[in-house]
Chain A
């Protein structure tokens, strides 16, 4: 079941620069997408969401972009901070009762 893919297992950026995390999906029924952040030994924490009627959603330093034709979304973090170092999961749902499909995660390391 590879309906949501995060092809980069890890990403390293310098503090203050932009972090771009990518996610691809295959199911055209998906209409709601979320990004979660996860620290070790903790549960996923909601970061930002976007529905398919939009192509961009912004919340402070975090912006999610959705390209429906390419079935691709990305999370931009600007500026990146060391506290952003965590595993980031994208998740998607659609046509089903709040069943989310998660990607495998991207481990972000922001270097001071």
Chain B
């Protein structure tokens, strides 16, 4: 089965540093998402992306966050100046039509901000 791939699997950074999390969605999918899960908490929606623009974003997704599809295959999440509270598992997901259908998730990037 096709899968969403994420790199790196672990990222350790110092507070205030910029990080870029990378994702390769499933090739024929058109809708892309970032979710995150802080340890012990629920999976939270961050942002959805379609046709090279943000479709919807949550309150968490403030000006420190940005997303980009720099080429035909990659989808990235950038955090400009990381904070301790950004430490979480970040999941990329994609879907084909963006309607009422399942999301395919990657295995996640564990971000640790020190």
Contacts A97-B56, A98-B33, A99-B56 given; does A44 touch B100 at CB 8 Å: no
0 or 1 for each of A35-64: is its CB under 8 Å from B? (1 = yes): 010000111111001010000000000000
Contact in complex: B100, A51 (CB < 8 Å): yes
Bound form: Cα–Cα A110–B35 in Å: 28
Cα–Cα, bound, A95→B105 (Å) = 22
A11 to chain B minimum Cβ distance, whole angstroms, is 17
How long is the Cα–Cα vector from A44 to B45 in the complex, in angstroms?
13
Q: With contacts A41-B107, A89-B43, A100-B45 known, is A46 near B102, CB below 8 A?
A: yes
Q: Does A104 contact B (CB under 8 A)?
A: yes
Pair A97/B100 contact, Cβ less than 8 Å: no
A104 contact set on B, CB distance < 8 A: 41-42
B114 within 8 A of A: no
Asked whether, in the complex, the Cβ of B56 is within 8 Å of the Cβ of A43, the reply is no
Distance in Å from the Cβ of B63 to the closest Cβ of chain A? 20
B44 within 8 Å of A (CB atoms): yes
The chain A residue with its CB closest to the CB of B95 is A98
Q: Which B residues are within 8 Å of any A CB, using their own CB?
A: 4, 6, 31, 33, 35, 41-45, 48, 50, 55-56, 58, 91, 93, 95, 98-108
Going nearest first, the 8 A-B pairs with the smallest beta carbon separation are A43-B105, A102-B43, A32-B100, A46-B102, A104-B42, A43-B107, A44-B105, A97-B55
